[in-house]
Amino acid sequence: MNKRCLQSRRLGVRRRSVLVGGVALTAGALIVPRFTLAQPAERVRRIGWLSDTAGVRPTFSAALRDLGWVEGRNISFETRNNQGQRERSPELAKELVAARVDVIVAVAPIAIRAAVQATSEIPIVMAWWGGPDLVESAVIASYARPGGNVTGVDMLVSELDAKRLDLLRQVVPRATKIAVLVHSPQIFEQERTAVREVARKSGLTLEIVGTTPSSPDYDAAFEALARSQCQALQVATSPIFERDRKQIIERAARARVPAIYAAAANAQEGGLIAYGTTAVELDRQVARQLDRILRGAKPGDMPVEQPSRYVMAINLSTARTLGLVIPQALLLQADQVID
The pLDDT assigned to 29 comes to 44
Q: Write the Ramachandran bin of 230: left for phi over 0, alpha for psi from -120 to 50, otherwise beta.
A: beta
Residues in the chain: 339
Cα–Cα distance, 191 to 256 (Å, whole number): 29
Q: pLDDT band at 191, cuts 50/70/90?
A: low
CATH level 3 topology of 45-155+279-301: Rossmann fold (3.40.50)
**Model pLDDT for residues 279-330, shown as the tens digit of each residue:** 888 899 999 999 999 999 999 999 999 988 899 999 999 999 999 999 999 9
Higher pLDDT, 82 or 234: 234
Backbone angles phi, psi at 47, to 5 degrees: -110, 125
Helix H or strand E segment including 80 = strand 75-81
Name the residue ranges covered by the structural domains of the chain: 45-155+279-301, 158-276+310-338
Backbone angles phi, psi at 229, to 5 degrees: 60, 40
The pLDDT assigned to 24 comes to 45
Q: What are the CA-CA distances from residue 219 to residues 92, 242, 245, 253, 319 (Å)?
A: 30, 17, 14, 13, 23
Cα–Cα distance, 224 to 208 (Å, whole number): 10
Structurally, at CATH architecture level, domain 158-276+310-338 sits in 3-Layer(aba) Sandwich (3.40)
Helices (H), the chain: 27-30, 58-66, 89-98, 109-118, 157-171, 185-191, 193-202, 218-228, 239-243, 245-255, 264-268, 279-294, 316-321, 328-333
**Single-letter code of the amino acid located at 142:** S
Over range 159-169, report the average pLDDT. 92
Give just the sign of the alpha carbon dihedral 61, 67, 73, 74: negative
pLDDT exceeds cutoff 60 at 17: no
The pLDDT assigned to 40 comes to 61
Domain 45-155+279-301 identical in fold to domain 158-276+310-338:
yes
User: Could you report how far apart the first and last alpha carbons of the chain are, in Å?
Assistant: 42
Asked if 89 contacts 57 with a C-beta cutoff of 8 angstroms, the reply is no
**Per mean pLDDT, which range of 22-36, 144-158, 167-181 is the poorest?**
22-36
The pLDDT assigned to 184 comes to 77
pLDDT exceeds cutoff 90 at 5: no
The pLDDT assigned to 1 comes to 46
pLDDT exceeds cutoff 80 at 32: no
Q: What are the CA-CA distances from residue 2 to residues 6, 43, 62, 75, 114 (Å)?
A: 13, 16, 17, 14, 37
Helices (H), 269-307: 279-294
pLDDT exceeds cutoff 70 at 48: yes
Cα–Cα distance, 199 to 173 (Å, whole number): 13
**Single-letter code of the amino acid located at 22:** G
Asked if 161 contacts 187 with a C-beta cutoff of 8 angstroms, the reply is no
Q: pLDDT band at 37, cuts 50/70/90?
A: low
Give just the sign of the alpha carbon dihedral 294, 295, 301, 302: negative
